Amino acid sequence: MKWHEKMLNIDRRWIYLILGVAVIVPAVVSFHVPVNVTPEVRRVYDFIEDLKPGDIFYVGIDYDPASLAELHPMAYAILDQCFRKDIKPVVATLSQFGAGMAEQVLSEVAAEYGKESGIDYCYLGYKPYPAITIMLMGVDFRVPFPQDYYGTPIDSIPMMRYVHNFDDLKGVISLSAGTSSEFWIIYGYGRYFMPLALGVTGVMAADYYPYLQSGQIFGLISGIKGAAEYEALTEYKGEGLKSIPYQTTTHVVILAFIIVSNIGYFASRRSKK
């Protein structure tokens, strides 16, 4: 068997072994990978950075624990930025299993800055039927959420007194791993035209770039890479940047595999001629 034939018919267990090593290496040897910040992530960062203290910003934690790995770092970094800038986030979730998780993230970050529920932030909780909930929030937050997560009527929450619908907010970001993102574009932006940004999982990213191009969303954070970019901008020490070495080694290995396999393929074609 010639070398190129060997290369083409390599036992795939070698591939698995090499990839396995690539996954483990960053855990053993720590190294730094520079993260290139893309304009669509920077736009989200700049948008929040340009808000004034006291401005109200909506953060939708619309994912469930299954996609926690990719979207949790974004939620932490964004809420951290809001609290650091004294911006008041209104948080709700459209995911059935997201309510407890969202509460945990929010209260954790809020505690770091000594922020108080009702004064510095408001957590509305969960409502089913994402499309309808978004439309109703466009009418008045009081319709889908007469009370916040803790049972306080919205009208008795100081920061919500003059907040009725999206017109009273500076903007919206939804972090989601499913159809909620699409609902935000269709029923949120499509009807109420508020500035909208999305955080999505890596596999969903390709589907949402066109909305960026068309201007329906002003920013997009995708996957663990997007989360890392955001952390790089906010200088928040989270899971996003920590995952980047793993992503880098595995990506490089897969790209190398494709190149090696093509070299083998070309060599074998040439020798056949």
Q: Which of 88, 123, 118, 119 is nearest to 105 (CA)?
A: 123
Site for other proteins in 235-264 (CB under 8 A): 244, 247-248, 250-255, 257-258, 260-262
Does residue 113 contact residue 83 with C-beta atoms inside 8 Å?
yes
Does residue 138 contact residue 131 with C-beta atoms inside 8 Å?
no
Q: Candidates 42, 164, 182, 195: give the one binding other proteins (CB under 8 A).
A: 164
Among all chains, which residue has been given the structure tokens 């995911």?
95
Contact flag: residue 34 with other proteins (CB under 8 A): yes
* In the complex, least distance from residue 224 CB atom to other proteins, rounded to whole angstroms: 9
Beta bridge partners of 175: 61, 199
- Kindly report the number of other CB atoms within 10 A of residue 246's CB atom: 17
Contact flag: residue 42 with other proteins (CB under 8 A): no
Size of the site for other proteins (CB under 8 A): 48
For other proteins, which stretch binds (CB under 8 A), given 81-89, 91-99, 120-128, 210-218?
Answer: 210-218
Extract the tokens encoding 142: 């009081």
Give the contact letters, 133-162, x = binds to other proteins (CB under 8 A), - = no: ---x--xx--x-------------------
35 contacts: CB under 8 Å, gap ≥ 6: 225, 228, 229, 232, 241, 244
Chain residues in the site for other proteins (CB under 8 A): 10, 12, 15-16, 19-20, 23, 33-36, 38-39, 136, 139-140, 143, 164-165, 167, 186, 202-203, 205-206, 209-210, 212-214, 225, 228, 244, 247-248, 250-255, 257-258, 260-262, 265-266
